[in-house]
Amino acid sequence: MNEELQDQRAVVRTHPVNVRVFLRDHATVEGKAHIKPGAYQRRVSDLLNGGKVQFIAITEATYKHGDEPQMSSDCVLVNVADVVMLDATPGDH
């Protein structure tokens, strides 16, 4: 990649937090949500309650719904309106 172009990229530092997200349709998504330490999204709950975000990116994700086989993906986008509960790993938030 061109060094000049690489220097122009914006970098947003985040802290990954292990989460399990329970959705309205009884599916679950597990992986890492990313919070921004020191910013307006510094807690996992801020991702859901901020009102500014419609989707949460869950990286290194697995998705499970009912008896269907579990699926994996580098990133799953979860609609905040479909979240019933979000469980963060203790000590990560």
Residue 50 CA, distance from chain mean position: 14
Q: Is residue 66 part of a domain?
A: yes
Residue 41 belongs to domain with CATH number:
2.30.30.100
| Tens-binned pLDDT, residue by residue, of the chain (93 aa) | 556 555 667 777 788 899 999 999 999 999 999 887 775 556 777 777 767 789 989 999 999 998 999 999 999 999 999 999 999 875 443
Per DSSP, what are the bridge partners of residue 64? 28
Q: Is residue 5 part of a domain?
A: no
Q: Is residue 3 part of a domain?
A: no
Identity of residue 29: V
Sign of CA dihedral 88, 91, 92, 93: positive
Q: What is the DSSP string of 8-46?
A: T------EEEEEEEEETTS-EEEEEEEE-TTSTT-SHHH
Identity of residue 72: S
